[in-house]
Chain A
């Protein structure tokens, strides 16, 4: 059996492996054991030698691409680095985290080495054939598939495996030379969207708070209370530490120039055209509509909702608890209790 190659990259510090990469290492070790194959770990980053220390005792052969050119994520340099690692390792299976850095390049790398690729992998199974599980139609359908072409690249969704946590130590990583193409893109850094203190979806938060369009609709007194809604939501986020998600309809109202919750952007969207977060708990407020929200909530653990509509289609069978109540009043009391 040709080896299993795990491609890993450094996090923003440049000297330690990203969490997703360590998850891929765990998956790689499990798969290599099942297939009775050797495991190779290829590390890319500004200081790959230092980062590779965290996988020193995996029993894997370690390959490293290191240097300033690889410190920041960029298509041209990352694709060249991954290609060089694949050519050095000659793997049958390539596992890598589905991070923004690797998702940007890995299909191109697979094409360059004559392989095939599947992304957003949720599980890997099989002992003789490798079977990969992934979602289709935005988490509405789950498929198990296999391929005959090799190398087969599999990008693993975050959170599907435990991060590898072995002892650290000095490691004899083999340097791999990379022939860089001409570089036309420079990375200037990162920028946080202007969010007025609300923030976007933060995967590390224990709770996802989803605001729906009902917050900006006329209330029982016949008036709009958008400013009050904004203040209540922000206060709740500060008090609970929750991550803020939103329905598409609410975000779209903002981008169409209507005076709505100013701290929401498309980065807050969950559902069909937004993200599908994996928080342990989720609390939705003033949300309506079925399928888009079901998609957005597919991987939320415990789900509760506050809605004035006891017959709202999306909550039945999807949420654990639905409070039929006015979200303005409930969140206001909640904020008082949260201090």
Chain B
């Protein structure tokens, strides 16, 4: 089958960005206060990766998408109620802690093992997708380590677009310094692509896709294996919220002309 792909999307779960977060000390190191009670979302950049994967699979017949996610089983189930309506995929869940203070190396090892164990996965068609950084740890290393553990020597980070050519090679646009893209041509799968925002909007909820996905998601969640992601290597000396609070001057009653003059002076243009 020409140009079909087996796309594995690695995506974690993070607290809803609109929630106020407060660090606390837990038995295994730092954690977020009331973490299990906070509403969660699919990691935003990883969600972009999922939408791009679904789009790519839809345009290349016989392609398939898997979503590999490590998180507390209950939270994953809750999240899948909405995520499953966005794109067709098969869920590969791993039951374990998710959060910014969980070790990236151990997480990568668990994800790589889970990917390796996916039945029917063809390494020659394999594309590993994910967010280039998470909204939790934000280190940008997990996906890279997954690729390294799977022996994939072509990796791209900060990806905004992939364009597959007829011969199976593809052009990748990666974000680099200065607000521009680096353009690379890769000979084809296997490859790792850490996505930035991509170029697709968030798909609308589609209940039919959701129903189809849930037929495999619920049994997969029931079978989810526990993943050990503890690390003895790292020691957190302190975790704190930034204390900076500014004294805001609220200016009412100035005319637009007066404001403009003040701003010109502030900008330093005159």
Contacts and interface: CB of A to CB of B under 8 A. Distances in A.
Interface of A: 73-76, 79, 99-101, 103-108, 111-112, 116-120, 131, 135-149, 181-182, 184-193, 199-203, 206-207, 239-240, 242, 252, 255-257, 266-267, 269, 272-274, 281, 283, 290-292, 295, 298, 302-304, 306, 310, 315-326, 329-330, 332-334, 336-338
B259 A330 contact: yes
30 contacts: A75-B154, A76-B153, A100-B175, A117-B139, A137-B135, A142-B242, A148-B235, A185-B154, A185-B187, A189-B182, A192-B181, A206-B267, A206-B268, A242-B267, A266-B160, A267-B160, A267-B175, A281-B267, A292-B17, A316-B248, A319-B248, A320-B247, A320-B248, A321-B249, A322-B248, A322-B250, A325-B256, A325-B259, A330-B259, A333-B260
A303 B17 contact: no
A136 B138 contact: yes
A318 to B, nearest CB: 6
A292 to B, nearest CB: 6
A295 B248 CA distance: 17
Nearest to B138: A138
Contacts of A137: 14-15, 21, 32, 100, 135-136, 138
Contacts of A323: 251, 254, 259
Residue from A116, A181, A199 having most chain B Cβ neighbours under 10 A: A116
A76 B21 contact: no
B180 A73 contact: no
B92 to A, nearest CB: 22
Interface stretch (B83-91, B144-152, B205-213): B144-152
A143 B239 contact: yes
A249 B260 CA distance: 26
B44 A298 contact: no
A22 to B, nearest CB: 14
B1 interface: no
A334 B30 CA distance: 48
A103 B153 CA distance: 15
Given A137-B136, A142-B242, A322-B250, A330 B177 contact: no
Contacts of B248: 315-322
Interface string B114-131: 000000000000000000
Q: How large is the interface on B (under 10, 10 to 19, 20 to 34, 35 or more residues)?
A: 35 or more
Nearest to A19: B177
A15 B135 CA distance: 36
Given A143-B30, A272-B135, 6 more contacts: A107-B144, A136-B136, A141-B23, A141-B100, A143-B101, A266-B197
Secondary structure of the A contact surface, majority rule: mixed
Contact of A202 (B136, B178, B252): B178
A187 B174 CA distance: 11
B234 A185 contact: no
Contact of A317 (B160, B188, B201, B246): B246
B186 interface: yes
A322 B236 contact: no
A310 B235 CA distance: 44
Contacts of A145: 234-237
Contact of B233 (A147, A272, A274, A338): A147
A189 B183 contact: yes
A176 to B, nearest CB: 20
Interface string B1-26: 00000000000001101111101000
B263 A142 contact: no
Contact of B200 (A255, A298, A302, A336): A255
Contacts of B105: 111, 116
B241 interface: yes
Contacts of A148: 232-233, 235
Given A104-B157, A149-B233, A324-B252, A337 B264 contact: yes
Contacts of A147: 233-235
B184 A188 contact: yes
B96 interface: no
B240 interface: yes
A140 B243 CA distance: 10
Contact of B269 (A191, A240, A336): A240
B257 interface: yes
Contacts of B153: 75-76, 79, 181-182, 184
Contacts of B174: 100, 104
Contacts of B157: 100, 103-104
B93 interface: no
Residue from B136, B144, B160, B257 having most chain A Cβ neighbours under 10 A: B144
A108 B266 contact: no
A141 B254 contact: no
Nearest to A184: B187
Nearest to A295: B17
B173 interface: yes
A139 B175 CA distance: 20
A329 B263 CA distance: 13
B180 A190 contact: yes
A29 to B, nearest CB: 24
A283 B263 CA distance: 9
A333 B239 CA distance: 45
Contact of B240 (A142, A324, A336): A142
Residue from A192, A199, A239, A334 having most chain B Cβ neighbours under 10 A: A334
Contacts of A316: 248, 250
B260 to A, nearest CB: 4
Contacts of A266: 160, 196-199
B249 A322 contact: yes
A185 B184 contact: yes
